[in-house]
Amino acid sequence: MMTVKSSSLGYPRLGEKREWKRALESYWNDGSSKEELLATTKELRLASLQKQADAGIDKIPSGDFSLYDHVLDTSVTLGIVPERFKYTDGEVPLETYFAIARGNKDAVASEMTKWFNTNYHYIVPELDNARPQLTFNRPLFYYNEAKNELGLETKPVILGPISYLKLAKGYEEDQFETLLTALIPVYVQIFAELEAAGVKTVQLDEPYLVLLTDKKELNYYKKSIAAFKEAAPSIQLILQTYFERLDHYEAILELPADGFGIDFVADHGDNLRSLLQFGFPEDKILAAGIIDGRNVWRSNLKDKLALLTLIQANVPAERLIIQPSSSLLHVPITVAHETTFEKTLVNGLAFADEKLHEIVLLTKAVRDGVSSIQTELDDSFEKYTALQKADFRNNQTVEAELTSIQGEEVNRALPYAERILLQHEALNLPLLPTTSIGSFPQSAVVRQKRAAWKKGNLTEADYRSFIKEETERWIDIQEGLDLDVLVHGEFERTDMVEYFGQQLSGFQASTFGWVQSYGSRAVRPPLIFGDIAFEKEMTVEETVYAQSLTEKPVKGMLTAPITILNWSFVRDDITVDKVANQIGLALRKEVLALEKAGIGIIQIDEPALREGLPLKEERWKKYLDASVYAFKLTTAGVKNETQIHTHMCYAEFDDIIDTISALDADVISIETSRSHGDIIEAFEVHTYDKEIGLGVYDIHSPRVPTAEEIKQNISRALQVFPPEQFWINPDCGLKTRHESETIDALKTMVDVTKEIRKAY
Ligand code: GLN
Ligand code: ZN
C-alpha cells in the first residue's frame, strides 16, 4: 500500500567519537595504510546506514558519505581534476583525491569555501579546460554496497549539475550552457547505470534552486532533469532543495521531476505560504523538510503535527515524505554521550539520531493517527516545555535591562568627528600608529601548560602565574619592537568564542558535539541554551595586569555579539536578534568594567559578521541592522575619550562598507591579503571617515614579509586614506605563528612605518 514515508537527506560523517577524523589523519600521517583507511571508513559508513534503518527511516540516503567532501566527490566522479594534478583517465586515485583537497609537494590544493550559509566548507571545483567523463560511478558503488552488505535499499544522493557548476570556478558566464551540455551525458550515464541496478529513488540535490532569480534558468533544470528521466524512467527522482524558500514556486513545480524536496524550516514560512496559496501538483511527491537539520533543539512535535495537517490539506499521505529540512551533516550525531549537562537541557536537545527519531514518530502519526504515538508525543512535549519554562530561559532581570536600554544609550555621546579629537589628546599616539590584532603565538609550551592544568597536573595558581609570565614576556617584546598600542596576547584563551561562553551564563560547551567544518577538521560550537547574562569580569584582570607593566596603552580584547552567535548553536525559541542583544548587554558590562579599570582602548572583534549574511539579499538589511545594533549596544556606553576598535577577517567586505561604518567603531582593522586588494578599491569609491588599519601583511603563511612588500601595501593604502586616518597592523591575530616569525615580521612592520613617517 502506498503511504507516507520517512526520509533523511544525509548523515554526519565524523563518527560518534570522531573515528572518521582519526582514520583519515592517521592515514595522512603515515600511521595506517590505504586498506586500513578504507576498511575503517566502510565500517563507519555501514554502521551509520544500519543505525538509520534501525531507527525506522524508510528512505535512507547513500553516497552522502565522503572521505573528504561531497563536492570534491562529485568532481572526481565527473573526471574534473585540475591539470596540475596530472590526472589522465580511469578512476581518480585516492592520493590525487586528497592532493586536490590538501595540496602536495608539486601542486597547491584547490580553494575551499563556505557551503551556502553553513560553517561547512567544500572544495571549489576548477573547470578550466574540463573534459567531463564518468571515472567511477560512485553513487552506484555506495548503493550496491548498502544492498550487498546490509540488504538495504537506499536512496543515492547526487549533487545536481546546475548547482555543481554554480559552486565551481574557472569559466565565464557565457560558457555555462556549454559546460552543462558536457556534464549532462555523464550524469545520464550515472542514472542509466543506477536504473539498471534497480535503484528506486534518487535524491538530486539542487540547492541553487533557492537562489533562482532569473526564471529563464529553469530551462537548465528542465533540460537536465528531462535527460535523467529519459535515461532512468523507473527511478523516482526527487529534486531536493534546502536552506531557503523557493521563488517561482509554481514554475519550479512544473519541472519534470517526480517529487520536490522543500524546506519548511529555514524558509521564514514562505514555502508554506506558497503551498497554501498555489497548492501542489496532483501527480507529484512532496518531500517535506519539517525537522530543523541545522540546529540542535528538540522539536515541538505538536507544532510539527499542526504543520503536517496544513501540508496534508494539499498533499495526501501517499504522496508525502517527511524528512529533515537539510542534511544532518550540520549537527552532531547523538545526545547520548552528553552526560554532564543538566537534565532539562539534555532533554531539550536533539542531534542527528534524535532528529531521525522525531521524523519516524511524525511519520507514524500521519500513517496511523496521532493516538499511535501519544505516549512518545506527551513525553517529548513535556521535555520540550520544561526547557522553554526553565528559569535559565526566563531571566527577568536581563529582559528588564534590555527593554530599558534604548535610544541614546546605543549611541556614543559625541559624534565621531568630535570624540576622535578627544581620543587623540588622551592617547597621544604618533602618526600611523602600529599595533597587532590581539593574540600572540600559542606556543607548544602554552598548550602543554594548559593541558596539564586541565588534567589537574598543574595547579590553578601555577597556571595563572605562567600566563602572567608569558604576558609579561610579550609586553617586553612589544616594547622592544616599539609598537605603539600593545595587547596582552590572549594566552588564557583557546578560542575567541569558547572563552566567553565559559564565563557568561546561558552557554554550555558540549563534550561530543562535533560537526565537520572542512575535511577532517571538526568544530564543537557551544550551545546558547538560555538567557545570556554577565556574571563576572572576564578579561579585566589580564588586561589590567598587562597595562600595569607598560606606559603604552594596552587594548582590551573582546569578541563581539554576532561572531559569538554565528559560531554557536543558538536557541530557537526567541529571535536571534534578541540573543544578540543579550550578548551585547553582557559585553557592555565588560566594556564598562575595562574602562573603569583604566583601559583606554577596547577592541571588540567581529570577524564572522559577513559570513552570517542570509542567502537571500532581501534579508540582508534586517540582519545587518540587527548586527549594528548589538555592536553599538556593546560599545556605546563608554566615555568619548575611550577608543573603540573592531576587527574583521575571513571574507571580503567590499559590499558591506556602509554597515562597517555604521558600527561607529573609532578604529577598524581588516584583513586585506585575501581579498587581493579589492577592499582598497572599494574604499576608493565608498567614503569611509573613521580610522582604519588594512592589514599590511598576511599572517597565514610562515613566510616573513619583506620590507618592500609591507612598504608597498602601506603606500597603496595611503593613496586612498590620509595618514592621519590610517593604522599599521598585520591582517589578523598571530596565535598560529612561531615566535621568531612573529617578531621578525612585526619588526619589519615597525621599521617600515618609522621610515614612512619621516616623509610627513
Ligand atoms: N583578537 C583575535 C586574535 O588576535 C582575533 C581573531 C580573529 O579575528 N579571528 O586572535
Ligand atoms: Zn582576524
Q: From the CB of residue 713, how many other CB atoms can be counted at a distance below 10 Å? A: 23
pLDDT at 410 over 90: yes
Ligand 1 near 584 CB (within 6 A): no
Q: How confident is the model at residue 494 (pLDDT cuts 50, 70, 90)?
A: confident
The highest-confidence range among 15-19, 559-563, 651-655, by mean pLDDT, is 559-563
The amino acid that residue 662 corresponds to is: A
Buried b or exposed e, range 67-105, using 16+ CB within 10 angstroms: bbbbbbbbbbbbbbbbeebebeeeebeeebbbbbbbeee
pLDDT tens, residue by residue, 230-269: 999 999 999 999 999 999 999 999 999 999 999 999 999 9
Average pLDDT, integer, range 109-118: 92
> Ligand 1 test: best mutation among 490, 647, 698, most atoms within 8 Å of CB?
647
Per-residue model confidence (pLDDT) at position 34: 96
Instruction: Tell me which of 303-317, 465-479, 697-711 is least confident.
Output: 697-711
**59-240 matches 410-442+480-493+538-758 in fold:** yes
Per-residue model confidence (pLDDT) at position 556: 98
The amino acid that residue 322 corresponds to is: I
Average pLDDT, integer, range 723-740: 96
Ligand 1 near 607 CB (within 6 A): yes
The residue extents of the domains of the chain are 59-240, 410-442+480-493+538-758
Active-site residue identified among 268, 676, 686, 700: 700
Average pLDDT of the chain, as a whole number: 96
Average pLDDT, integer, range 298-317: 98
Convert 433-483 into a string of H (helix), E (strand) and C (coil).
CEECCCECCCCHHHHHHHHHHHHCCCCHHHHHHHHHHHHHHHHHHHHHHCC
Ligand 1 near 602 CB (within 6 A): no
Per-residue model confidence (pLDDT) at position 658: 93
Helix (H, G, I), strand (E, B) or coil at 205: strand
Q: Classify 363 in phi/psi space as left (phi over 0), alpha (psi -120 to 50) or beta.
A: alpha
Q: How confident is the model at residue 3 (pLDDT cuts 50, 70, 90)?
A: very high
Ligand 1 near 732 CB (within 6 A): yes
Per-residue model confidence (pLDDT) at position 676: 65
Which residues are bridge partners to 645 per DSSP? 603, 667
Per-residue model confidence (pLDDT) at position 161: 98
Is 22 annotated for ligand binding? no
Distance in Å, CA 211 to ligand 2 centroid: 29
Per-residue model confidence (pLDDT) at position 1: 54
> Ligand 1 test: best mutation among 119, 435, 436, 437, most atoms within 8 Å of CB?
437
| Integer Cα distance of 346 and 343 in angstroms | 5
Please say if 700 is a catalytic residue.
yes
What is the value of ipTM here, to two decimals?
Answer: 0.99
Per-residue model confidence (pLDDT) at position 262: 98
Distance in Å, CA 410 to ligand 2 centroid: 25
pLDDT tens, residue by residue, 602-660: 999 999 999 999 999 999 999 999 999 999 999 999 999 999 999 999 777 888 999 99
Per-residue model confidence (pLDDT) at position 701: 82
Distance in Å, CA 605 to ligand 2 centroid: 8
Is 21 annotated for ligand binding? yes
| Shortest-distance Cα residue to atom 3 of ligand 1 | 733
410-442+480-493+538-758, what's its fold?
TIM Barrel (3.20.20)
pLDDT tens, residue by residue, 182-209: 999 999 999 999 999 999 999 999 999 9
59-240, what's its fold?
TIM Barrel (3.20.20)
Q: Are 614 and 620 spatial neighbours (Cβ–Cβ below 8 Å)?
A: yes
| Integer Cα distance of 413 and 407 in angstroms | 11
pLDDT at 363 over 90: yes
pLDDT at 675 over 90: no
| Shortest-distance Cα residue to atom 4 of ligand 1 | 733
Per-residue model confidence (pLDDT) at position 673: 81
> Ligand 1 test: best mutation among 485, 488, 490, most atoms within 8 Å of CB?
490
pLDDT at 432 over 60: yes
Residue 485: CA count within 13 A, CB half-sphere: 29
Contacts of 174 by beta carbon, 8 Å cutoff, 6+ apart = none
The amino acid that residue 685 corresponds to is: V
